[in-house]
Amino acid sequence: MMREEVTHGRKRIHAGCWMDWDRKGVVRSRHFERLPARTFRILACLLQHHDHVVAIPTLLAVGWPDEDRSPQDLYPYIHHLRRLIEPIPMHPRWLTTWYGYGYLLHIAPQTHHRTHSAS
C-alpha cells in the first residue's frame, strides 16, 4: 500500500501532539518546539511510514545522507523525539524500539464525533 506523503500543514501524532511541517517542529500541549534539521528529517521519515517499523539504516541515511554513521549516532535523536512526544519518555508508547532492527512511530487513530439530529 502506498502512503500519502504529507509535507505541509500539521500531522497529528496523538491527542495534543502534532508535527508542524511548515514551521518544522512539534506542537505539544499548545507549546511549539522547532526541531533541528536532522531531528526534523528523522521524525518526518517516521511519520511518513507511521505504524510500520523503519529500519535503522534508513533512518541513518535520512539523518546523515552523506556520511556513514553507526546506530549509536541515532540514539540521542530518538531520545529527543521521545522527550517531545511521549507523556513518559522512559516508557514509550508512541515511538517504540524494535531492538536490532528499527523504530516504529504509532499514530493515534482519529476519533470522529457524530452529532445526532432530533427526529
Domains in the chain (CATH in brackets) are 36-105 (1.10.10.10)
Residue range 84-116, pLDDT digits in tens: 999 899 999 999 999 989 999 999 876 554 444
Summary mean pLDDT of the chain:
86
Q: Give the pLDDT of residue 119.
A: 45
Please state, as a whole number, how many other Cβ atoms lie within 10 Å of the Cβ of residue 77. Answer: 18
State residue 33 phi and psi, 5-degree precision: -130, 120
Q: What is the pTM of this model?
A: 0.84
Tell how far CA 104 is from the center of its chain.
9
Q: Which amino acid is at 14?
A: H
What are the mean pLDDT values of the chain's consecutive 10-residue runs (119 residues total)?
54 88 91 95 95 97 95 96 93 94 89 48
Tell how far CA 56 is from the center of its chain.
14
Could you tell me if 3 and 49 are in contact, meaning their C-beta atoms sit under 8 angstroms apart?
A: yes
- Residue 48's nearest CA partner among 11, 74, 73 is 11
**CA angle, residues 108, 104, 12, in degrees to nearest 5:** 30
Helices marked H in 2-107:
37-48, 56-63, 75-85
d(C-alpha 95, C-alpha 9), whole Å: 21
Q: Which amino acid is at 70?
A: S
